[in-house]
Amino acid sequence: MSFPLDDNFEELVNSFHFPSSSVLRSYMKTMGAIISGSAALALLHPGTFSPNDLDFYVLPNGYPLLLAFILNHEYVVEPDCDLCLAYK
């Protein structure tokens, strides 16, 4: 069974050059991750704008797997510098 958001998710995933929406969806389920920000809004309001980044919220135990997945697809992870202050 296909849902309208499935097509929107496929288009979003393709726009960020991931090879498969089903693979990303499977990883997200395993990691406890969700997409947020403008990408999430673009899923709900297709065709109104194109997000220029992809934000994930992930459970702490899923972070290493998400990081490996993202880096494996030749992305660069930019930390939120406001949060970096806690680690200095």
Give pLDDT tens digits for 11-66. Answer: 888 888 888 889 999 989 988 999 999 999 998 888 888 898 888 888 888 888 98
The Cα angle at residue 38 between residues 2 and 53, in degrees rounded to 5: 100
CA 46 – CA 55 distance, rounded (Å): 17
Q: What's the pLDDT score for residue 34?
A: 93
pLDDT at position 4 is: 66
d(CA 76, CA 5) in angstroms, rounded, equals 27
Residue 80 identity: D
At residue 33, the pLDDT reads 92
Q: Is the pTM of this model over 0.85?
A: no
